[in-house]
Amino acid sequence: MNRHTVVFEPSGKKGDVQEGATLLEAAHELGDDIESVCGGKGVCGKCSVKIDEGLLASHGIEWSGQVLSPPADEEAELLSRRGLSSEYRLACQARVLGDVAVFVPEASRRSRQLIRKSTIERTIPVRPAIRKYYLELSPPTLSDVTADYERLITELRRSSGLEEVIIDYAVLKDLSHILRSADWKVTLTVWKGREIVRVEPGYVDGSYGLAVDIGTTTVAGYLCDLQTGEVLATDGMLNPQMAYGEDVISRISHTMKEPDGLAGLNRAIVDGIGELVVSITGQLDLTPGDISEMTVVGNTAMHHIFLNLDPVCLAKSPFAPTVSGSLDVKARELGLTLEQSTNVHVLPVEAGFVGADNVGVLIAEEPYNQEEMVLIIDIGTNGELVMGSRDRLLCASCATGPAFEGATIEFGMRAAPGAIERVRIDRESLEVQFKVIGSDEWNTVSSSVKAKGICGSGVIEAVAEMVKAGIIEKGGRFSRKLASSRLITAEDGPAFIIAWANETALGQDITVSIEDVRAVQLAKGAMYAGARILMDRLGITGLDKIILAGAFGSYVSKEHALAIGLFPQCAPEKVYSVGNAAGEGARLALVSVDKRREAEQIARKVEYVELTVEPRFHEYFIEALSFPVPSVLSKP
């Protein structure tokens, strides 16, 4: 039989195939990767390709007219339903009759690329753990009484090549009913090529996953298209465990003091995620049952409580977690309101205080693939630090206290409407300009959103501006040389008025007191000293790049943070805010099994440094309590 040349672009795969082979068969033979959910039955439309005469010419091959079998009516209909012109064909239906060149669009490629822009641009192959297969089975007859499950597996093996596949028990229980009611045409969802986790009637398009970042304060969800890797919807909520305490330690204490303490905290987060699932799927007219897989990151305490593991081990030296590797757990085991058989992948943790959220940050930012010496800071109640490059990576956790989240500050509050987030102080007059979250205007008495307190980024700016204006001296004391009606002596010592009573919703002045300055000094001292210890361990004296992760990192002014010495000096243009990198890591793990592997490897490779036992920590901490001379502050 004749053979003809087939060229696939953009892969450039080229070769001779037998006349009469389908383009899908030709692609498999020549090593091109075309999507095919229905196994070549002409149902899913995923294998649509464009026939391009021009491409053929560029390969020096002549167009000879009828190079493919003509489309049947069903094929033409399906293509036009998908809005594709007559230049397109279903690769599984078009048979090769002559030399032909085929362009495989991104949407029809099995290995798609996700382009990520962060501090460096990179592409990640989209390879989710789940994949759908459409099957048409022949029903049993008196002469063929093969059981339903064996019938299904045999057809799946035949059409997909998957050999060792099992079925989730909950799915098996419904199998017989679904097969018969769907006239033996079903779509299977297969997890990691080895377990059938769903059987749906007919052909079902689209697969969705949910990435969840469980923070101590907030929970963020990202609903993703598992075929393209794109985020389709996002949602967030306050962590319902807040009712049991604002920080990790108070929640762990709750589990120790109350007989049902762990159960209550676990229920709170599981129910909270249930609400998040409903609201996020509702944004796209989907249901919780449409979620095919979920990934989760969180600090070690949130990780343990979500998994219903006793977190007490995290509060007692030597702080060894119950488990550090990644886990795959069924939704039903966790009590989540997803399909019972849905897999929940929990990323690994690094050490007692450095959790799966930090692993998420690592796989999002990939410092282990960079030449540059990078410091990544994730600031929450704890400051988590990762420093290094492709050669070596260290991590540490410093007890910064909750000052940067607005707690322990007299007028501190979380970053919410009414929180002062920006502050400027005139060096001569000591007059203050401030801006609150929820209003674009700098303070006006008539503003509709009045100040209610100061959030973490506002505290940093206020203190940095007070240093710049000479109100706070190098050691942290208030200057006695300056005179201003804003400088007052309160019960606990000197304070500076940031907002007058008539500019606030509280009916009283909002101040920054000497105690607040102390809290900032302690927090920044811990952070700075932690970074210095890691630099010593790596034998370096400078950093090429600083990455600020987390919500706080997104709002904080890097110039002000550098000015108070929150972290070692670095050129301001080399300090980047990357937003919720932990959540981004959860999304990447959701859409890429390669990223899961990377997470597992890097969690074991990164070296944990326990700062409290480092001999020089105290020395650096004391050194870092003072305020460096500011040089790069900007004007409003």
Binding site for ligand FES (CB under 6 A): 36-38, 40-47, 90, 92
Give yes or no for a contact between 95 and 2, defined as CB atoms under 8 angstroms apart. Answer: no
How many Å from the N-terminal Cα to the C-terminal Cα in the chain?
78
Q: Strand order in 208-214's β-sheet?
A: 231-238, 218-225, 208-214, 291-298, 343-346, 327-330
Q: Is 39 or 525 the residue whose CB approaches ligand FES more closely?
A: 39
Q: Is 23 or 379 the residue whose CB approaches ligand FES more closely?
A: 23
Local structure of 319: helix, strand or coil: coil
Give yes or no for a contact between 39 and 134, defined as CB atoms under 8 angstroms apart. Answer: yes
The residue written with tokens 């205080």 in the block is 353
Residue nearest to ligand FES (CB): 92
Shortest Å distance, C-beta 291 to ligand FES: 24
Q: Is 41 or 574 the residue whose CB approaches ligand FES more closely?
A: 41
Burial class (CB in 10 A: 0-12, 13-18, 19+), 53: exposed
Give yes or no for a contact between 602 and 367, defined as CB atoms under 8 angstroms apart. Answer: no
Q: Distance between CA atoms of 601 and 581, rounded to whole angstroms? A: 18
Tell me if the bond preceding 318 is cis, omega within 30° of 0. yes
Q: Is 108 or 326 the residue whose CB approaches ligand FES more closely?
A: 108
**For the chain, how big is the Rg over CA atoms in Å?**
30
Shortest Å distance, C-beta 35 to ligand FES: 7
Shortest Å distance, C-beta 72 to ligand FES: 12
- Phi-psi region at 493: left, alpha or beta (left = phi > 0; alpha = psi -120 to 50): left
- Cα 43 to Cα 47, 135, 562, distances in angstroms: 10, 10, 59
Q: Distance between CA atoms of 563 and 380, rounded to whole angstroms? A: 20
Q: Is 134 or 411 the residue whose CB approaches ligand FES more closely?
A: 134
DSSP-assigned states of every residue in 332-371: HHHT-SS-TT-EEEE----BTTB-HHHHHHHHHH-GGG-S
Q: Is 156 or 529 the residue whose CB approaches ligand FES more closely?
A: 156
Q: Is 44 or 523 the residue whose CB approaches ligand FES more closely?
A: 44
Shortest Å distance, C-beta 47 to ligand FES: 4
Shortest Å distance, C-beta 206 to ligand FES: 14
Shortest Å distance, C-beta 78 to ligand FES: 7
Q: Give the dihedral sign, CA 567/572/574/575.
A: positive
Q: Distance between CA atoms of 536 and 58, rounded to whole angstroms? A: 58
Q: Is 111 or 283 the residue whose CB approaches ligand FES more closely?
A: 111
Shortest Å distance, C-beta 36 to ligand FES: 4
Q: Is 89 or 486 the residue whose CB approaches ligand FES more closely?
A: 89
Q: Distance between CA atoms of 525 and 404, rounded to whole angstroms? A: 13
Q: Distance between CA atoms of 532 and 537, rounded to whole angstroms? A: 9
Q: Is 158 or 616 the residue whose CB approaches ligand FES more closely?
A: 158
Count other C-beta atoms under 10 Å from residue 166's C-beta: 11
Shortest Å distance, C-beta 527 to ligand FES: 54
Q: Is 43 or 526 the residue whose CB approaches ligand FES more closely?
A: 43
Shortest Å distance, C-beta 134 to ligand FES: 7
